[in-house]
Amino acid sequence: MSSRKGQKDAARVVREQLAREKRRKRTLWTSVGAVVFLVIAGLIGWSVYSSQRADDFTAPKGANDAGTGVVIGSGPVTIDLYEDYLCPACKQFQQINGATIDQLVSEGKAKVVFHPVAILNRFSTTEYSTRSSAASGCAAEGGKFKEFSDALFERQPPEGGPGLSNDELIDIGAGVGLNRDDFGSCVKDGTFKAWTEHVTEDASESRVTGTPTIRINGKDVEDRSPDGIKAAVEAAGK
């Protein structure tokens, strides 16, 4: 009897082990299926988002073909300049190097692609980085991007506050020769906010990790002094 009971117990243990193994495999495959589903759904979602994003902005006049920046000049060497209008280091960069870059453009040695990114919104209570960048798009639409951009750095507000109001941005635009009504409507409507997002996303995808970033023919410039920038443009033009 004890032998028979032992056999039954052994058989029961085997059945329980097989049942547990089936449950484990079922759970495993269910989990794998869920992960695969989420991955496929994510890829589809990203594809849809990317395709929508590509068509979901309007670049201002003077933008490059990719719509990622405003082009000034037509020289053979390309200077890509990534700046945020709330960035103190960008203001300093403009004070030190602005005249040099303007000279390189006027002499026909280089063209500049200005990428007005919005990465410092966290340092403003009103998303000033986005608002000022979008306003620069309005200025580009009116043919005064460079003048407006220079004026924004001259009037740069401190970090941590609201930044300049829309009315103040409009005043600056009118001061550099933009039509107050047209420019004002563009600023208040946020016409180029989607463009600003596109510019900023492209900068991130291009591995721009901070502002200012300057690249000459696609290469980061280490020596960002006037002489260093001139030398880099000269070397790239050979």
pLDDT at res. 177:
98
CA distance 172 to 153: 11
Judged by DSSP in three states, 143 sits in coil
What pLDDT sits at residue 102?
97
The CATH superfamily assigned to 70-236 is Glutaredoxin (3.40.30.10)
C-alpha to C-alpha distance for 38 and 56, rounded to whole angstroms: 26
Q: Taken in order 74, 56, 82, 140, is the CA torsion positive or negative?
A: positive
| Predicted pLDDT at 37 | 39
pLDDT in tens, 159-179: 999 999 999 999 999 999 999
Q: Residue 232 in contact with residue 96, Cβ under 8 Å?
A: no
Residues 6+ apart with CB under 8 A from 181: none
Query: What pTM, to 2 d.p., does this model score?
Result: 0.77
What's the mean per-residue pLDDT of the chain?
Answer: 87
